[in-house]
């Protein structure tokens, strides 16, 4: 659906990028800019920047960039139209007349999911579901729990659900897009979930957005099968039982690894348990949890893999506004088994006694050393200081130094000295990693290098980037450019797209600014453009500069086709390829 540029302009004018982003990211002023920790990748020092002048954002760490609409899309997993509606609502603007294709698709998928969940539920209670019922009973699930979670059974047939949904008027393509059916080599569709106990995943509005299917007994195939991403579901930001945990009204959530753990916990009265959906924890899920809970108790499996996942999860939570505790289980491999063996009271005790993340790490560490041995004691203290160095709070650091001193009979001053060393080591590592991240990003890689000494491609691309940046920030410079260049001179595909779009707007008497352009351009070009604004935030591009860039662009030596490639590496690869063809 095409939304008129004038509408976008008004919408973006009413939704200042700083105001919108600061609802999600805590931003600090840095000159004319703002910076904060990037919400799209993990980082400890901020490389995510807001540019009020161009109303754009850009992350020097991961290259994410765009305007306010793109930000809202990415942050909330919304489609373009949904993001516009979101922003329109938040500033009280009516939506333009719309024919929203994406919303229609979503509502069809939700309808199918709902029918499928009912179908699976009926099937569980039919003859075909006898084994599945036995399986759930063996796992000691009550009828109430089964109803509460809407559990079901997908029978062993290859066309059971597809036939049913066809009868309800859904097309094969629709079923495939909902990840309820797949298309075989012969072109026929078949049920993805077969002979499995089914766990519907329900969002906060009560919609069935996906399914997890668990195999019973020793049947072949993967133990768990989960919906992949569909128009209504993204694995990386869904949580199983979040709907129920939110309803519990508790401000602590228990985070578990599997569906069965969550269900067992709910049945035992811990109705604040949630789980990820067959994937490792992501930053989006951490954000989701911290939206609804103040504390989280990680209760993963007690085996090696579970402990590793625990450490990873703690790392992710350490940046969120939620306090983390870790449940230490002995005598059972997971919460489900623990509750069955020892009962709910003992599990409640585990939760009450759960360690803070720091205590967890320190006690894990201590268990590896014999601190009566002087050498091992030194090693333990050195590693413990490495852990303490990650704390941002000096008072807490001091408290732990005292504790370590008492525990090992070591002089506290010596421990503090070691902590200082650990902190400066950590800073060095951080700086090194930041530099490495910057080098990985093609855009910043070009900036760091002296472009004049690089291949003329980089020079040409750079010149084109500076020219379009100058025009977008000051439309009057277009007159300088249009007399000397045509769109054909823009050899970089993205920059040509940007220039052509500017041309169209300016020639028809409209203003060309980023907020309008970002939506007529291909995504990649819009993102690159955000990066260019970022790079030039503190640089004034004068008319004289523009003339110099035009000169550079017209005199650089490579052929247009070669120069159209993005990086020196790509050209090298291309030349290799051509050589190979000639032989």
Nearest-approach distance from CB 48 to Zn ion, in angstroms? 6
- Closest to Zn ion by CB, 248 or 527: 527
- What are the CB-based long-range contacts (under 8 Å, 24+) for 35-42? 37/319, 38/62, 38/64, 39/75, 39/283, 39/287, 40/64, 40/74, 40/283, 41/283, 42/283, 42/315, 42/316, 42/319
Which residue lies nearer to Zn ion by CB, 45 or 89?
Answer: 45
CB-nearer residue toward Zn ion: 62 or 105? 62
Exposure string for 467-502, b = 16+ CB within 10 A, e = fewer: bbbbbbbebebbebbeeebeeebbbbebbbbbbebb
Helical (H) or strand (E) element with 395 = helix 394-408
- Looking at beta carbons only, is 61 or 531 nearer to Zn ion? 61
Q: Which residues contact 469 (CB under 8 A, 6 or more apart)?
A: 529, 532, 533, 536, 541
Nearest approach in angstroms of CB 297 to Zn ion is 29
Residue 441 beta carbon to Zn ion: minimum distance, rounded to whole angstroms: 10
Distance between start and end Cα atoms, the chain: 49
- Specify the DSSP element, H or E, that contains 141: none
DSSP 326: E
Burial of 352 from C-beta contacts in 10 A (0-12 / 13-18 / 19+) = exposed
Closer to Zn ion by CB, 38 or 274: give it: 38
What distance in Å separates the CA atoms of residue 95 and residue 86, rounded to the nearest whole number? 10
Q: Which of residues 34-63 bind Zn ion (CB under 5 A)?
A: 38, 40-41, 59, 61-62
Site residues (CB under 5 A) for Zn ion, limited to 60-89 = 61-62, 64
Q: How far is the CB of 531 from Zn ion (least distance, A)?
A: 12
Three-class SS of residue 35? strand
- Non-local (6+) Cβ contacts of 527 within 8 A are 63, 64, 65, 66, 70
CB of 50 vs Zn ion, minimal distance in Å: 13
Which residues lie below 8 Å from residue 501, measured CB to CB, with a gap of 6+?
512, 517, 520, 521
Asked whether 458 and 568 are in contact (CB, 8 A), the reply is yes
Site for Zn ion in 368-387 (CB under 5 A): none
- Smaller CB separation from Zn ion, 41 or 250: 41
Q: How far apart are CA 517 and CA 8, in angstroms?
A: 10
Partners of residue 225 on adjacent β-strands:
213
Give me the least distance between CB of 66 and Zn ion, in Å please: 12
Q: Which is nearer to Zn ion, 65 or 231 (CB)?
A: 65
Which 503-562 positions form the footprint of Zn ion (CB under 5 A)?
none
Q: Quick one: 91 or 438, whose CB is closer to Zn ion? A: 438
Tokens of 543: 């008319």
State the nearest-atom distance from the C-beta of 444 to Zn ion, in Å.
12
- Cα–Cα distance, 63 to 198 (Å, whole number): 39
How many residues sit close enough to Zn ion to count as binding (CB under 5 A)?
A: 7
Q: Does 438 bind Zn ion (CB under 5 A)?
A: no
Residue 66: closest CA among 503, 481, 517, 560: 517
CB closer to Zn ion, 39 vs 258: 39
| Least gap, CB of 43 to Zn ion (angstroms) | 7
Nearer residue to Zn ion within complex by CB, 102 or 320: 320
Binding mask 390-409 for Zn ion (x = CB under 5 A): --------------------
Minimum Å gap between C-beta 53 and Zn ion is: 20
Nearer to Zn ion, 40 or 121 (CB): 40
Residue 62 beta carbon to Zn ion: minimum distance, rounded to whole angstroms: 3
Helix, strand, coil proportions of the chain in percent (round to 5)?
55, 10, 35
Return the structure tokens found at 553. Answer: 């662009």
Largest CA distance in the chain: 82
Report the nearest approach of Zn ion to the CB of residue 25 (Å): 11
| Residues 180-209 close enough to bind Zn ion by CB under 5 A | none
Q: Smaller CB distance to Zn ion: residue 37 or 404?
A: 37
Q: How far is the CB of 106 from Zn ion (least distance, A)?
A: 28
3-state secondary structure of 447: helix
Closest-CA residue to 541 (of 454, 447, 476, 453): 476
Minimum CB separation of residue 320 from Zn ion in Å reads 16
User: What is the footprint of Zn ion within residues 109-138 (CB under 5 A)?
Assistant: none
d(CA 442, CA 438): 8
Q: Which is closer to Zn ion, CB of 60 or CB of 121? A: 60
Minimal distance, residue 78 CB to Zn ion, in Å: 19
Residues linked to residue 201 through DSSP beta bridges, in sequence order: 210
The smaller minimum CB distance to Zn ion, of residues 64 and 296, is found at: 64
What residues make contact with Zn ion under the rule CB under 5 A? Answer: 38, 40-41, 59, 61-62, 64
């Amino acid at each position: 659906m095409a939304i008129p540029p004038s509408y976008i302009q008004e919408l973006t004018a009413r939704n200042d990028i700083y105001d919108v982003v600061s609802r999600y990211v805590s931003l600090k002023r840095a000159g004319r800019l703002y910076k904060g920790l990037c919400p799209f990748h993990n980082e400890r020092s901020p490389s995510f920047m807001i540019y009020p002048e161009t109303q754009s954002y850009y992350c020097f760490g991961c290259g994410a960039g765009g305007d306010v609409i793109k930000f809202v899309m990415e942050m909330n997993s919304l489609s373009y139209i949904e993001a516009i509606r979101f922003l329109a609502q938040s500033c009280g603007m009516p939506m333009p007349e719309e024919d929203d294709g994406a919303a229609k698709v979503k509502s069809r998928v939700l309808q199918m999911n709902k029918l499928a969940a009912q179908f699976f539920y009926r099937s569980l209670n039919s003859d075909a579901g006898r084994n599945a019922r036995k399986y759930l009973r063996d796992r000691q699930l009550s009828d109430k729990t089964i109803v509460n979670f809407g559990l079901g059974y997908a029978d062993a047939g290859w066309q059971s659900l597809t036939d049913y949904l066809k009868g309800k008027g859904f097309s094969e393509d629709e079923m495939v897009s909902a990840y309820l059916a797949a298309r075989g080599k012969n072109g026929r569709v078949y049920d993805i979930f077969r002979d499995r106990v089914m766990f519907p995943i329900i969002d906060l509005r009560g919609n069935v957005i996906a399914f997890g299917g668990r195999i019973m007994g020793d049947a072949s195939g993967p133990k768990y099968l989960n919906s992949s991403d569909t128009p209504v579901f993204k694995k990386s930001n869904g949580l199983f039982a979040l709907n129920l945990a939110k309803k519990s009204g508790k401000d602590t959530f228990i985070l578990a690894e599997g569906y069965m753990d969550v269900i067992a916990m709910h049945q035992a009265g811990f109705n604040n348990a949630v789980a990820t959906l067959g994937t490792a924890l992501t930053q989006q899920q951490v954000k989701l949890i911290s939206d609804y809970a103040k504390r989280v108790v990680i209760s993963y499996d007690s085996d090696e893999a579970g402990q590793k996942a625990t450490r990873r999860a703690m790392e992710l939570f350490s940046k969120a506004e939620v306090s983390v505790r870790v449940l230490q289980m002995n005598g059972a491999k997971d919460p489900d088994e623990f509750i069955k063996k020892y009962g709910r009271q003992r599990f409640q005790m585990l939760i009450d006694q759960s360690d803070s993340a720091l205590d967890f790490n320190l006690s894990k560490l201590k268990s590896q050393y014999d601190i009566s041995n002087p050498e091992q004691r030194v090693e333990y203290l050195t590693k413990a200081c490495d852990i303490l160095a990650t704390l941002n709070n000096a008072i807490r650091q001091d408290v732990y130094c005292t504790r370590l001193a008492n525990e090992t009979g070591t002089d506290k001053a010596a421990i503090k000295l070691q902590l200082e060393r650990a902190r400066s080591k950590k800073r060095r590592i951080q700086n090194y990693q930041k530099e490495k991240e910057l080098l990985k990003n093609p855009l910043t890689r070009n900036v760091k290098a002296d472009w004049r000494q690089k291949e003329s491609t980089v020079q040409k691309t750079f010149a084109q980037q500076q020219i379009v940046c100058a025009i977008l920030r000051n439309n009057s410079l277009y007159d300088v450019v249009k007399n000397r260049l045509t769109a054909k001179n823009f050899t970089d595909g993205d920059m040509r797209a940007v220039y052509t779009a500017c041309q169209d707007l300016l020639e028809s008497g409209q203003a060309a600014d980023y907020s309008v352009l970002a939506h007529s351009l291909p995504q990649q070009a819009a993102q690159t453009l955000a990066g260019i604004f970022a790079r030039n935030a503190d640089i004034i591009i004068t008319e004289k500069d523009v003339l110099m860039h035009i000169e550079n662009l017209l005199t650089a030596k490579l052929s247009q086709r070669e120069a159209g490639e993005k990086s020196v590496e790509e050209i090298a690869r291309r030349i290799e390829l051509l050589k190979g063809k000639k032989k």
